[in-house]
Chain A
Amino acid sequence: GENVEQHPSTLSVQEGDSAVIKCTYSDSASNYFPWYKQELGKRPQLIIDIRSNVGEKKDQRIAVTLNKTAKHFSLHITETQPEDSAVYFCAATGAGSYQLTFGKGTKLSVIP
């Protein structure tokens, strides 16, 4: 089955700096890569996603890049704010599969 590795497990940045979280996946047939944000005590919520026919997608301060050859994708958050502090999960779904496999998460702390 699919295996998703996520790094780093914790990340601290100063407010206003950028944050980058990286994930790798094992199944070359995977074609959907969402990112979820989970605030303390809350449920995970989708913040951005990308499909395998797209190399990059941006939504305001958040962007995701995908390198299919290397089988890795990354989340970029620019101009970080204290409200960006949360746990972020990457995930992947294989072609023809209904299994959504998650990475182990990155705890992002934005220091005011």
Chain B
Amino acid sequence: NAGVTQTPKFQVLKTGQSMTLQCAQDMNHNSMYWYRQDPGMGLRLIYYSASEGTTDKGEVPNGYNVSRLNKREFSLRLESAAPSQTSVYFCASIVAGYTEAFFGQGTRLTVV
């Protein structure tokens, strides 16, 4: 039981490049989330998927797209990376509302 797994762990991109961050959970959770963490800013919600087949914008969705591929997988895509997207990205999943969120180990992304 691996929990929530994110790939890659580290990535350096040049401005304008695109990439997809992958997230998979093996806990049969319904809801999945993408957060970004910047110093002094806490965890800010980018997008979330309440259940398979649905996605919604969070607090900071601009510059990102998501895909809930199936119940296990939720990917985050940067179409044209910008230096402002340099951050640590966390994926999380929840079995249902009002319960513990389990986080992946994070992806440290640097855009130069």
Contact = CB atoms under 8 A, between A and B. Distances in A.
Interface of A: 1, 6, 9, 31-32, 34, 36, 42-46, 49, 51, 89, 93, 97-105
A57 to B, nearest CB: 14
Contacts of A36: 101
B24 to A, nearest CB: 15
By size class, the interface of chain B is 20 to 34
Given A31-B98, A99-B48, A105-B42, A44 B103 contact: yes
Given A43-B103, A46-B100, A104 B45 contact: no
Contacts of A42: 105
A93 B96 CA distance: 12
A104 B100 contact: no
Contact of A51 (B45, B98, B101): B98
Contacts of A31: 98
A33 to B, nearest CB: 10
Contacts of B105: 42-43
Contacts of A102: 35, 42-45
Scoring A32, A34, A46, A100 by chain B CB atoms within 10 A of each residue's CB, the highest score goes to A100
B25 to A, nearest CB: 13
Interface string B93-112: 01001101101111000000
Nearest to A9: B40
B40 to A, nearest CB: 6
A64 to B, nearest CB: 14
B33 interface: yes
Given A98-B48, A98-B50, 18 more contacts: A1-B59, A9-B40, A32-B98, A43-B104, A43-B106, A44-B103, A46-B100, A93-B97, A93-B98, A97-B97, A99-B58, A100-B45, A101-B45, A101-B59, A102-B35, A102-B42, A104-B42, A105-B40
